[in-house]
Structure 1
Amino acid sequence: MEGKEEDVRLGANKYGEKQGLGTVAQDRDYKEPPPAPLFEPGELTSWSFYRAGIAEFIATFLFLYISILTVMGYSRADNKCQTVGIQGIAWAFGGMIFALVYCTAGISGGHINPAVTLGLFLARKLSLTRAVFYMIMQCLGAICGAGVVKGFQPTPYQAGGGGSNYVHHGYTKGDGLGAEIVGTFVLVYTVFSATDAKRSARDSHVPILAPLPIGFAVFLVHLATIPITGTGINPARSLGTAIIYNKHLNNWNDHWIFWVGPFIGAALAALYHTVVIRAIPFKSK
């Protein structure tokens, strides 16, 4: 009996209520994963490398196919109140990212976006070899996805603008660039936070499905920036629709915004997470 009382006393001291929520797991052992090599030629002989690239191609293809079809359904309707509306378009983009990241995260990481790939590369989460390969496959997937939509609905596709990105009337190019920078920052920052291995070790008692906050971030950014640029935050998505639509002059005049903006936003998110949140460059080795 005395031994049981001692166990209770020790347990109460170890897990007292004074300890803040979420701090119990902070003592878990955690080892910082090593940075990915800049060049990794050995990847080029690995099937898993090409399998990951194929997964990025298919995921981006499906992303463009579903999301652009949703935009076409909205654009061709005479009565916008009978369509999904802007909120539905935002849900289509966010929901597809949620589903596709869930499906491909274990194969390629589920980037589906050159800006996400750039951010993770700058944080040394993957090699330059893999980053370039992913970006190429993402762009090809986006072109094919938009091409299939045009093939199914050629007339509505051309009449509805093809879901292409450009700075809308009433906004300046600076407005569009700012929207793309901040929107991509929100997305890539969410990616870093949702996939942080240290967070998984520290907060293992708080379950989180990484694709969910990532998809929700895409949804929220679309709600905010569809009226400004149609929401790019994904250079592959903007490139695919611009190439397949290729009709509106603004598609190409403004196209640089949908590469420069997302890449700046991704770089800032990588810098913020790595230097400020995680302070990795300042940790003693």
Structure 2
Amino acid sequence: IISSASQPSQELSEAPPAMEGKEEDVRLGANRYSERQPIGTAAQGGGADEKDYKEPPPAPLFEAEELTSWSFYRAGIAEFLATFLFLYISVLTVMGVVGNPSGSKCGTVGIQGIAWSFGGMIFVLVYCTAGISGGHINPAVTFGLFLARKLSLTRAVFYMVMQCLGAICGAGVVKGFQTTLYQGNGGGANSVAPGYTKGDGLGAEIVGTFVLVYTVFSATDAKRSARDSHVPVSTYVHTVHRWPAAATVFGFVND
């Protein structure tokens, strides 16, 4: 294996078809830095002029000019409508499942339908409102972005107020349509399952909220657009062309 891998064949020296058009990105990205710097983090080193991404400046704590801007109130309305629709669809779906009198699995959308209603609504609403308000739809997301100085205190408070109002209105509409079903099932609110304590439930909520906010931060990170952040492309090319033996052993290419 070592003798054959030490003599790179034509397949090793040539990039696969999927790599066509990527050589320029690699040359300007990973190959522009010394090998001693880790791939994927080299974009953070050097002077500010060497970075191929732009980190937005911290948002001011209080920005009075926002209060006179129509885009500020339009963003709040978008958060209100998004949270309203999210609570309306998701709570109504839960009511339809837990309130099924027959108990038949085919009579409702089931547990998977509830999961799809939550996930599908978040996907649609974030896509629709991301360009208007950022698509927070959750006070936890707004508060986390505020702590990271991604938005001002003025906008954060306004967002959270509109989100809570939207959630109240969404649940209120469901209660108005299905009063008996809503009251009989406690509004579809979560409860701690038997065998678990309230502390267990609190811990699960903390972990789940952390994953949500962490995903939002990762998706909105300015470094994701940097050439040097494309680790799989850089790693493949560097491995094949500079360390063919390692590429063969680890399965990047066939011997």
Query: Structure 1 length as normaliser, TM-score?
Result: 0.62
**Cα pair distance change 1:153/1:108, threshold 3 Å:** same
Matched, 1:39 2:62: yes
| Structure 2 match to 1:184 | 209
- Counterpart residue number, 2:175: 150
The reply to whether residue 166 of structure 1 matches residue 191 of structure 2 is yes
Secondary structure of the 1:81 match is coil
RMSD: 2.7
Distance 1:202 1:196 in 2: 14
Cα displacement string for residues 13-65 of structure 1 (whole angstroms, at most 9, x for unaligned residues): x759x97xx96x95762222100001111111111100000000000000000
Percent identity (aligned): 81
Q: Which has the larger radius of gyration?
A: 2
Partner of 2:98: 75
Counterparts of 2:166 and 2:202, CA distance in 1: 24
Alignment partner of 2:127: what SS? helix
> In the alignment, which residue of structure 2 is the partner of 1:240?
none
The amino acid across from 1:171 in the alignment is: Y
Per the alignment, residue 125 of structure 2 pairs with: 100
Structure 2 spans left out of the alignment, 5+ residues: 1-22, 32-38, 44-49, 232-255
Contiguous gaps of at least 5 residues in structure 1:
1-10, 207-285
Q: Secondary structure of the residue that 1:124 maps to in structure 2?
A: coil
Aligned pairs, number: 193
Aligned ranges 1:183-202 → 2 under 5 Å:
183-202=208-227
CA offset at residue 169 of structure 1?
Answer: 3.0
The CA distance in 1 between the partners of 2:70 and 2:104, in whole Å, is: 47
Deviation at 1:201, TM superposition (A): 3.2
Aligned pairs for 1:191-270 within 5 A: 191-202=216-227
CA distance in 1, matches of 2:228, 2:89: 35
Whether contact under 8 Å (2:223, 2:229) holds in the other structure is no
Contact 1:74–1:80 (Cα < 8 Å) also in 2: no
Q: 1:121-179 CA distances to partner (integer Å, 9 max, x unpaired)?
A: 01110001100000000000000000001111111111222121333332211101100
CA distance in 1, matches of 2:92, 2:211: 25
The answer to which structure has the higher helix fraction is 1
